[in-house]
């Protein structure tokens, strides 16, 4: 029986090798001509590349970290993360589906997006929850004001503790954004510090999302300038692209100003949303996701994927691939939390997915044959270029043609095998040599 999993089935080794050889060209195609340039890169910066190592690789690191788990009250979750085009992996996470003791029905999840190194993100991922719990504000009676206060104080205490460690270890340049969700039996608490983001999907639509903390936001800009800084190139002093973060102590030295009044503030924005039976899923993700896809697009895409896939790790993997193929140049990390009201596997949706993959396979075959008839030797990029201009009904909402790229690549190499049966053997010998 056909299933929607076909597009993510592990490809043979020789196919993976061929994909790697064309990855850079194909990824450039899906980026829409961005050519690997960093967001916000200014003319003339190319001269610096001769002396400053590029933060980007020649080809992305595609290996993924995946985790999954559940809580006794019905929550299921999965994590997916990938280094991507970045020269280093600076994302960390924390997944605690059950806090234990009298808070056994509470859960905590967070994504940490480090910058200027990964040390601060790693440290905070290990200590933030402990500082929050140490405030004593989390109690079974779930007093919303006390919980919100505990989250804020936990962030501030983490930053204070981190400052002492940073002085000893020389971490002044490093920092991390944080987006966290604390789930009680009655409420969902969101704590955001930076430009990672949380989105709650309810009844198939975006119900709530956190706000990014960027230097050019009016209130953030006012604080930055009052602390003696400036905002240029949409960055603090033309350098740092976020206005709230843990760490970044070189931006927190203004005298006679509280920690919340520095150029970079460690204070999270804390919000509470009452839980509902209509809650479907919650996403926590770094800006490597949100740089390429909107809240509404991601909500629609995940909603659709849950109808055809029961493995939440696979859903996270598909989101990561989608963001990569849509041009994300950053590390990519996502935590997907599914509530009891999440979409369930649908026979009709599975049938539609199988029909879509059959259609894509036939389109790839038609394009391949047509190019061959012209006397050309079709490469993957040529096939993708023609396919991208073709109307394809039934593509996943929010995903588009990029979301079926793995299926398209697999279909392309099936055609290549059929037309050139000796190619796989030579690649197998190359891989084994």
Sign, CA torsion 385/389/390/396 = positive
* Residue 1, domain member (yes or no): yes
Residue 124 has pLDDT above 60, yes or no: yes
Kindly state whether residues 29 and 118 are assigned to the same domain.
no
Q: What pLDDT does 430 receive?
A: 36
* Residue 270, domain member (yes or no): yes
Kindly state whether residues 198 and 85 are assigned to the same domain.
yes
Residue ending a domain, among 343, 365, 388, is 343
Residue 289 has pLDDT above 50, yes or no: yes
Percent pLDDT > 70 in the chain is: 85
Kindly state whether residues 4 and 97 are assigned to the same domain.
no
* Residue 60, domain member (yes or no): no
Mean pLDDT to the nearest integer, 4-33: 41
Please name the residues in contact with 75: beta carbons below 8 A apart, sequence gap of 6 or more. 97, 107, 183, 337, 338, 339
Residue 27 has pLDDT above 70, yes or no: no
Residue 173 confidence class, pLDDT cut points 50, 70, 90: confident
Kindly state whether residues 178 and 320 are assigned to the same domain.
yes
DSSP 19-80: HHHHHHHHHHHHTTS-TTPPTTPPTTGGGGGGTS--SEEEEEEEEEEEEEEE-TTS-EEEEE
Kindly state whether residues 28 and 143 are assigned to the same domain.
no
Question: Are 312 and 97 spatial neighbours (Cβ–Cβ below 8 Å)?
Answer: no
Kindly state whether residues 256 and 364 are assigned to the same domain.
no
Q: What pLDDT does 171 receive?
A: 73
Q: pLDDT higher for 430 or 319? A: 319
Q: What pLDDT does 51 receive?
A: 56
Question: Are 111 and 124 spatial neighbours (Cβ–Cβ below 8 Å)?
Answer: no
Helix (H) or strand (E) holding 337: strand 332-338
Kindly state whether residues 339 and 376 are assigned to the same domain.
no
Kindly state whether residues 129 and 96 are assigned to the same domain.
yes
Q: Which domain holds residue 5?
A: 1-35+346-433
How many structural domains comprise the chain? Answer: 2
List the single range of 9-13, 134-138, 308-312 with lowest mean pLDDT. Answer: 9-13
Mean pLDDT to the nearest integer, 44-56: 61
Mean pLDDT to the nearest integer, 221-239: 97
Burial classification of residue 131, based on how many CB atoms lie within 10 Å of its CB (0-12 exposed, 13-18 middle, 19 or more buried): buried
DSSP 374-406: TT----HHHHHHHHHTS--TTPPTTTGGGGGHH
Percent pLDDT > 90 in the chain is: 80
Kindly state whether residues 113 and 16 are assigned to the same domain.
no
Kindly state whether residues 178 and 158 are assigned to the same domain.
yes
CATH number of the domain to which 213 belongs: 3.60.40.10
Mean pLDDT to the nearest integer, 308-314: 97
Residue ending a domain, among 317, 343, 369, is 343
Q: What pLDDT does 390 receive?
A: 92
Tens of pLDDT, residue by residue over 348-379, are 999 999 999 999 999 999 999 999 999 988 99
Residue 142 has pLDDT above 90, yes or no: yes
Tokens of 331: 């590390």
Q: What pLDDT does 63 receive?
A: 97
Average pLDDT across the chain, whole number: 88
Residue 424 has pLDDT above 60, yes or no: no
Residue ending a domain, among 343, 369, 392, is 343
Mean pLDDT to the nearest integer, 223-248: 97
Residue 298 has pLDDT above 60, yes or no: yes
CA–CA dist 118, 63 (Å, integer): 18
Residue 270 has pLDDT above 90, yes or no: yes
From 415, 323, 304, select the one nearest 4 (Cα to Cα).
304
Kindly state whether residues 188 and 145 are assigned to the same domain.
yes
Residue 422 has pLDDT above 90, yes or no: no
Residue 420 has pLDDT above 90, yes or no: no
């Amino acid at each position: 029986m056909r299933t929607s999993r076909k597009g993510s089935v592990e490809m043979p080794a020789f196919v993976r090798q061929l994909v790697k050889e064309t990855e850079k060209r194909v990824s450039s195609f899906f980026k829409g001509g961005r050519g690997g340039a960093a967001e916000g890169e200014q003319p003339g910066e190319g001269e610096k590349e001769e002396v400053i190592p590029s933060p980007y690789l020649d080809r992305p690191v595609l290996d993924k970290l995946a985790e999954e788990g559940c809580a006794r009250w019905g929550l299921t979750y999965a994590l997916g993360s990938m280094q991507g085009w970045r020269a280093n992996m600076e994302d960390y996470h924390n997944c605690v589906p059950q806090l234990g003791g009298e808070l056994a029905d509470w859960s905590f999840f967070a994504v940490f997006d480090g910058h200027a190194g990964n040390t601060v993100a790693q440290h905070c991922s290990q200590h933030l929850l402990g500082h929050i719990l140490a405030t004593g504000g989390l109690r079974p009676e779930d007093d919303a004001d006390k919980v919100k206060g505990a989250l804020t104080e936990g962030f501030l205490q983490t930053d204070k503790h981190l400052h002492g460690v940073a002085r000893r270890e020389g971490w002044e340049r490093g920092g991390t954004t944080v987006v966290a969700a604390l789930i009680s039996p009655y409420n969902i608490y969101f704590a955001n510090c930076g430009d990672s983001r949380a989105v709650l999907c309810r009844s198939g639509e975006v119900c709530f999302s956190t706000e990014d903390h960027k230097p050019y936001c009016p209130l953030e800009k006012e604080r930055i300038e009052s602390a003696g800084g400036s905002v240029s190139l949409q960055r603090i002093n033309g350098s740092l692209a976020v206005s709230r973060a843990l760490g970044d102590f070189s931006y927190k030295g203004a005298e006679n100003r509280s920690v919340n009044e520095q150029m970079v503030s460690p204070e999270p924005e804390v919000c509470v949303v009452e839980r509902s039976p209509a809650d479907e899923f919650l996403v926590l993700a770094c800006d490597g996701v949100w740089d390429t896809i909107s809240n509404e697009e991601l909500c629609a895409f995940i909603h659709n994927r849950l109808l055809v896939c029961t493995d939440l790790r696979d859903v996270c993997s598909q989101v990561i691939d989608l963001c990569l193929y849509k041009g994300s140049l950053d590390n990519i990390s996502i935590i997907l939390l599914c509530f009891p009201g999440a979409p369930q596997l649908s026979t009709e949706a599975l049938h539609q997915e199988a029909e879509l993959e059959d259609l894509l396979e036939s389109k790839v075959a038609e394009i391949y044959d047509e190019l061959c008839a012209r006397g050309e030797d079709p490469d993957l990029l040529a096939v993708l270029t023609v396919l991208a201009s073709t109307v394809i009904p039934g593509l996943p909402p929010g995903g588009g043609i990029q979301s079926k790229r793995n299926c398209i690549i697999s279909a392309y190499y099936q055609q290549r095998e059929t037309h050139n049966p000796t190619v796989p053997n030579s690649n197998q010998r190359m891989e084994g040599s």
